[in-house]
C-alpha cells in the first residue's frame, strides 16, 4: 500500500524525469552540427551531420589523399597517405569546435553547430 509520501515521491521523480528529458530533446533538435572540410584554408565541403546519414568523402590530388567518413553525428579520417597519420589517429569527433587536422596535406575538418557557408555543399 502506497502512503501519501510515497505517491508524492513518485510524482516528484516523474516530474524530474520529464523536466530532464524535455530540455535534452529541444537542444538536440536545435543543434544542427556541420562538418566543415578545409584544404589550404579554403572551405571545400560542408556536410550536415544527421542521425542515420553516412557518407565517405575522398579529398586530395593524385599525389595524396584523405578519406573522410561521416556516420550519424560524427566524423573521422578513415584513411590517408600522410606521413604522420595524426588525422587518422585522431579518430571520431562529434562535438562542436572539435577538429581533425592533417598538417602534411593542409586539411582541417572542423565541427560547428552552425554554418555560415551552407552553399559550400554545392561546390
Give strand pairing partners of 48. Answer: 34
> Minimum distance from CB of 89 to Zn ion (Å)?
9
Closest CB to Zn ion among 102 and 109?
Answer: 102
Site for Zn ion, rule CB under 5 A: 80, 82, 87, 102
Query: By C-beta, is 47 or 87 nearer to Zn ion?
Result: 87
| Smallest gap from residue 18 Cβ to Zn ion (A) | 46
Nearer to Zn ion, 48 or 60 (CB): 60
Q: Which triple of cell numbers denotes residue 33?
A: 552540427
Q: Which is nearer to Zn ion, 49 or 102 (by Cβ)?
A: 102
Kindly list the strands in the beta sheet with 33-39, ordered across the sheet, starting from the edge strand earlier in the chain.
42-49, 33-39, 107-112, 99-102
Query: Please, what is the minimum distance in Å from the beta carbon of residue 72 to Zn ion?
Result: 23
Report in angstroms how near the CB of residue 110 gets to Zn ion at its nearest: 15
What spatial distance separates the first Cα and last Cα of the chain, rounded to whole Å?
67
CB contact burial 8-26 (16+ within 10 A = b; e otherwise): eeeeeeeeeeeeeeeeeee
Sequence-distant (≥ 6) Cβ neighbours of residue 53 within 8 angstroms: 70, 71, 72
Amino acid at each position: 500500500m502506497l502512503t501519501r509520501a510515497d505517491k508524492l515521491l513518485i510524482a516528484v521523480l516523474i516530474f524530474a524525469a520529464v523536466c530532464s528529458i524535455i530540455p535534452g530533446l529541444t537542444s538536440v533538435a536545435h543543434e544542427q552540427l556541420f562538418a566543415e572540410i578545409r584544404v589550404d584554408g579554403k572551405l571545400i565541403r560542408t556536410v550536415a551531420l544527421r542521425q542515420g546519414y553516412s557518407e565517405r568523402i575522398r579529398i586530395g590530388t593524385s599525389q595524396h589523399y584523405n578519406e573522410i567518413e561521416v556516420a550519424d553525428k560524427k566524423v573521422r579520417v578513415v584513411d590517408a597517405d600522410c606521413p604522420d597519420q595524426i588525422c587518422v589517429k585522431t579518430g571520431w569527433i562529434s562535438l562542436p569546435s572539435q577538429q581533425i587536422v592533417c598538417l602534411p596535406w593542409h586539411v582541417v575538418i572542423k565541427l560547428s553547430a552552425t554554418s555560415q557557408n551552407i552553399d559550400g555543399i554545392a561546390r
